[in-house]
Copies of this chain bind each other. A is one copy, B any other.
């Protein structure tokens, strides 16, 4: 696809400064854009402009700097750059020659569903219009998958799972394994059967090799619009709200309850039976072992309000020096006192 800057600027509802007839052939990053490509600029990477060979830039409307090439001023360069990437690149999805696969006769497939090679779909499954089930995936009994979903290669969706519309699940994810529940009977651990399921609402994305366990009796639920990264562990009976962001290698213990728009940064962990209020931010590698009220921002090996954690952390850094100074002062005082006697 080719288009000129006038067309792009109009598409983005931006203000074009410079020659609108310049032809753009694609999008590029500020580090690697080639001639003919358009890149986007934020306040953070302004200093990289001079080494960049892009033929045009998308810049914040507040920018006052002058540029050697044409620019389009917009409100949110990142969001508009996303639109451009989509314009220039068809989304890549798995397809290939469909050969051997195993679909139970009881399965209901919507309009234009794509099922790729070596997929297994078991009894009483229903799959909505335009959904793609990529190669090597497994869809267990009685699963419902909505419209416009993209199940990447090698995903495992176990029995009774319910998945809404526009959901993306990446390779290696396992949805609906048994939760981790045992009861010691005096001689051995007795397994607690897991007869609940997993419910994933619309617009959710789930990362590669992430695991979401089924509820013991009820459901584990992932709220509308929540996005989850790779290698995340979600325990049984967890309730996650809407539009949350859960970054890679995080973990949420059984029966915990995460409010809407919560952010769990990379490697954070929430133990069992915790409630985290709406709009909380849990910073990277933070361990949450107590309930958090709405709008909390916490960090630390043991989660504390972020400001307090920074103070304690700074005090710990100075600790060897602080102790030394206190002892010196004390010795000084003792000496002068002794001298005064």
- Determine the chain B residues whose CB is within 8 A of the CB of A243 once the complex forms: 188-189
The proximity string for A residues 3-47 relative to B, scoring 1 for CB distances below 8 Å and 0 otherwise, is 000000000000000000000000111011000000000000000
Complex CA gap A116/B156 in Å reads 14
Is the Cβ of A120 less than 8 Å from the Cβ of B153? yes
The main secondary structure of chain A at its interface with chain B is loop
A195 interfacial by beta-carbon distance below 8 Å: yes
| A 160-208 contacts with B by CB, 8 A | 160, 168, 170-172, 174, 177-178, 180, 182-183, 185, 188-193, 195, 203, 205, 207-208
Stretch at the interface among A55-63, A64-72, A227-235, A290-298: A227-235
Count of chain copies: 3
Q: Does A130 contact B (CB under 8 A)?
A: no
Determine if A233 and B235 form an interchain contact, defined as CB atoms under 8 angstroms apart: no
A112 on the interface (CB 8 Å rule)?
A: no
Asked if A108 is at the interface (CB within 8 A of a chain B CB), the reply is: no
For residue A325, give the distance in angstroms from its CB to the closest CB of chain B.
9
User: For the complex, is A99 an interface residue (Cβ under 8 Å from B)?
Assistant: yes
Q: Does A132 contact B (CB under 8 A)?
A: no
- Whether B96 lies near A122 (C-beta < 8 A) is yes
B227 contacts A248, CB within 8 Å?
no
> Chain B residues with Cβ under 8 A from A211's Cβ?
172, 207-209, 230-231
Q: In this assembly, does A51 line the interface, its C-beta being within 8 Å of a C-beta of chain B?
A: no
A2 in the interface, Cβ–Cβ < 8 Å? no
- Please indicate the chain B residues that have their CB under 8 angstroms from the CB of A170 in the complex: 174, 177-178
Q: Say yes or no for A79: interface residue by CB 8 A criterion.
A: yes
Q: Which 3 A-B pairs give the minimum distances between C-beta atoms?
A: A177-B208, A180-B229, A174-B208
Which residues of A pack against B, CB within 8 Å? 27-29, 31-32, 76, 78-79, 82, 85-86, 89, 91-92, 94-97, 99-100, 102, 104-105, 116-118, 120, 122-123, 135-136, 138, 140-141, 152-154, 156, 158-160, 168, 170-172, 174, 177-178, 180, 182-183, 185, 188-193, 195, 203, 205, 207-209, 211, 213, 216-218, 225, 227, 229-231, 233, 235, 243, 245, 247-249, 251, 253, 266-267, 269, 271-272, 284-285, 287, 289, 301-302, 304, 311-313, 315-317, 319-320, 322-323, 326-327, 329-330, 333-334, 336-337, 340-341
